[in-house]
Amino acid sequence: MRWTIENLGECAWLAKPVDLPPEQTLAQILAAAQALGGEPRLRTVHAGAHSLLLECDVGQTLDPLALLAQLGVLAPAQLDARRPGRTLEVCFDGIDLEEVAGKLGLASGALRAALCATDLEVAMLGFLPGFAYLRGLPPSLSLPRRSEPRARVPGGSLALGGSYLGVYPCAAPGGWHLLGSVAAPMFDPCRSPPATLSAGMRLRLVDRTDTHTPDGIASYA
């Protein structure tokens, strides 16, 4: 298992696995993040979709390559079994839904069905507390972000940006297309862990547009 290292200043690094098939990259990054979670010299271990950020306090000396080399390779099957599945209930009432469907050459109902039929995976969290980058969309459902970002996207908006879906955990400026809304809170500072979704989690959207209460998130086997 080999890694390349990019320096982010004097005491932080972005490590990327090399020679791995793309479908195994995230699993190995998450395995490494978990293995390094107890390393006292590290202030930050942040798993991304393609890379792992490591940061130590400036007084520590640390060789990130040596640290990563100590970790073995985790079997992908073993990793897969640990990843819980979730469903996320969505009301497809986004103001961009019709426009997005049009650009993708679909009726909005077909777009809703296609989104709900897709097996999604949480690639990473970032941007805002609890914001999850959801991947797994086929190229036929991908669309470049809006040319002009909106000054304010409402909290709970389900949005499409490139090949990612995401749920804005709170109101924020944003350039993604708004497809619907999710009632489940994405981040609760009174909970541990505070984010509802975590990297590596498998996810399915459930269409609750026609029922009145899209109220939550549930587990599935």
Partner 1 sequence: MLEVLSAGPQASVQDLGWRGWRDQGLNDAGALDQAALRLANALVGNPARAAVIEITWGGAAFRALSPLTMAVTGAQLKLECDGRLLHCNQAFAIAAGQVLRFGTPLRGARCILAVHGGIDVPMQLGARATQLKAGFGGFQGRALRRGDCLPIGVAEGVWAEPGFARSTGLTRKTGLTRKTGFALPTGFSLDTQWLYPAKPLRILVGSHASALSPDSLLALSTQQFTVSLRSDRMGLRMAPALYFEHTLDLSSEPLLPGTLQLPPGGEPILLTRDCQSTGGYPRIAHVARADWDRLAQLRPGDPLHFCWIEPEAARALALRREAAIAQLEQAIHARYARSFATGAGRFAAQPSAAAATRDAGASGIAHDHP
Interacting residues with partner 1 (CB under 8 A): 6-12, 14, 33, 43-53, 55, 58-59, 124-133, 169-170, 172, 187, 189-190, 192-195, 198-199
Nearer to partner 1, 129 or 216 (CB): 129
Show Cβ contacts of residue 70 under 8 Å, excluding neighbours closer than 6 positions: none
Nearer to partner 1, 111 or 122 (CB): 122
Instruction: Determine the 3-state secondary structure of 167 from DSSP.
Output: strand
Cα separation, 64 vs 13, in Å, equals 7
Residue 197 is encoded by which pair of tokens? 């979704």
Nearer to partner 1, 55 or 121 (CB): 55
CB of 112 to partner 1, least distance (A): 26
Cα separation, 19 vs 22, in Å, equals 9
CB of 50 to partner 1, least distance (A): 6
Cα separation, 202 vs 211, in Å, equals 24
Show Cβ contacts of residue 158 under 8 Å, excluding neighbours closer than 6 positions: 90, 92, 94, 165, 166, 167, 178, 179, 180, 181, 182, 205
Nearer to partner 1, 58 or 65 (CB): 58
* Closest by CA position to 86, among listed 38, 35, 134: 134
CB of 111 to partner 1, least distance (A): 24
CB of 8 to partner 1, least distance (A): 6
CB of 183 to partner 1, least distance (A): 17
Nearer to partner 1, 44 or 211 (CB): 44
Please identify which residue in the block is written with the tokens 């306090």. Answer: 57
